[in-house]
Amino acid sequence: MNVLMKRFVVSIFTIFLLLVLMFSCAPEASKQELSSETPIEILAPEDANGKFPYKRLSTYDFFTGEMAKLSPNSSLLPYQPASSLFTDYALKSRFISLPKDTQANIEGEELNFPMGTILVKNFYYPTDYRKPEGERRIIETRLMILEEGGWEAYPYLWNESQTDAVLKVVGAEKEVRFINQAGKEQVINYLVPNKNQCKSCHNKNESLAPLGVQIRHLNHDIAYESGTENQLANWSKLGILVGFEGKAAHPSVVNYEDQSQALNDRAMAYLDINCSHCHRAEGPASTSGLFLTYGQQDPLKLGVYKTPVAAGKGAGSYTYDIVPGEGDASILLHRMNSTEIGVAMPELGRTSIHAEGVALIREWINQMDEK
């Protein structure tokens, strides 16, 4: 088609379009907001009869002395994953309890626990993040208990006076205020998940599964009272783990906060702990074909020049999950950098933006080769 012809066509179109200018659409008013408060339950003391879950956290007798101090009794062992899942800047203290005279074992890539193992994870906010050991408010304690039918998750919501927590399967909402690292007051509308939402993340082939308590996340040094030691080596020494053959014999993940590590390792560690619980072949987001486990090598599965599938408004005005060299044109970053429900990823556990995480992934994408 030559240029004259094009011009002719264009002018014809203009006339047609002018003819149909009168069509437009008027928006309607939206419904009014509703609000309500969840009543706090008051419960009588209960017996530790061995039938889980208990209604009150105190019934498990995990902690000695004042409960809010979270000082573990001798049956609890602290643990730390190398990288931590971001949950609205909440700090976490984590403990594991194995039944007396039982052991966990390593089989290939799997870390198997004996029946009755309990994971205890406390979510709290210091009043001032510049003094994380100072005054704090505990919001919830999540238990994962390995029962006959597999792992079960039980969320316990702490009371205002911080004397106990009660089982709350339907979830809750808490406003949290704190002074952040920069010395500014920050307000977060913290959401306690309902029991079944736990599995939105803790999901492996539709069975509930721990996230941090996996070999690659535990295979690193942490500080004990007796000195610094590899966590799994320590467990072996204590006689609660068999099959550990030294750090190098097993996979491990770096701490994404450790700036001395390679950028790619840090970014993959971040995506692994924050995203791969869903975004892997065994997870609920397998539908997307976007797989973000540590060590993923296939560029398409990582999202490089991959179009979204069911992203809806999550795609924003972007075309691909990752555009190498262009972090800010990548859907992956767009969804990390949003708090809008339907856009924000992960779908649960985050109502604020993890600025440090966004910066890390932006840097990682920006430095990718444009192939």
Judged by CB under 8 A, the chain residues 190 through 219 that form the site for another protein are 191, 193-197, 199-200, 206-207
15 binds another protein (CB under 8 A): no
33 binds another protein (CB under 8 A): yes
3 binds another protein (CB under 8 A): no
* Shortest Å, Cβ 276 to another protein: 15
List the one residue from 81, 243, 308, 357 that touches another protein (CB under 8 A). Answer: 308
Closest to another protein by CB, 114 vs 171, is 171
Closest to another protein by CB, 61 vs 206, is 206
CA distances from 158 to 38, 62, 172, 174 (A): 14, 15, 11, 10
* Shortest Å, Cβ 31 to another protein: 6
354 binds another protein (CB under 8 A): no
Closest to another protein by CB, 22 vs 44, is 22
- List the interface residues with another protein, window 174-193 (CB under 8 A): 189, 191, 193
152 binds another protein (CB under 8 A): no
CA distance 190 to 350: 8
CA distance 251 to 110: 11
Whether the CA torsion 229, 234, 237, 243 is positive or negative: it is negative
CA distance 234 to 257: 23
51 binds another protein (CB under 8 A): no
Residues 6+ apart with CB under 8 A from 121: 92, 93, 94, 95, 141, 142, 143, 144
Closest to another protein by CB, 182 vs 341, is 341
5 binds another protein (CB under 8 A): no
Closest to another protein by CB, 8 vs 224, is 8
CA distances from 22 to 10, 17, 156, 242 (A): 20, 10, 58, 76
- List the interface residues with another protein, window 252-281 (CB under 8 A): 281
List the one residue from 258, 307, 363, 367 that touches another protein (CB under 8 A). Answer: 307
Closest to another protein by CB, 144 vs 191, is 191
Q: Using CB under 8 A, which of the segments 29-37, 57-65, 100-108, 120-128 binds another protein?
A: 29-37
* Shortest Å, Cβ 314 to another protein: 8
DSSP label at residue 286:
G
CA distances from 172 to 36, 147, 321, 323 (A): 11, 25, 32, 38
Q: Using CB under 8 A, which of the segments 36-44, 57-65, 76-84, 244-252 binds another protein?
A: 36-44
Q: Where are the alpha helices (DSSP H) in 60-208?
A: 198-201
171 binds another protein (CB under 8 A): yes
**What does 306-323 look like in DSSP terms, one character per residue?**
PPPSS-GGGGTT-S-SB-
Residues 6+ apart with CB under 8 A from 181: 129, 130
CA distance 247 to 252: 8
164 binds another protein (CB under 8 A): no
162 binds another protein (CB under 8 A): no
Whether the CA torsion 336, 339, 340, 344 is positive or negative: it is positive
Binding mask 282-301 for another protein (x = CB under 8 A): --x-xxxx---------xxx
Residue of 265, 178, 210 whose CA lies nearest to 79: 210
Q: Where are the alpha helices (DSSP H) in 184-261?
A: 198-201, 215-218, 231-237
Closest to another protein by CB, 130 vs 313, is 313
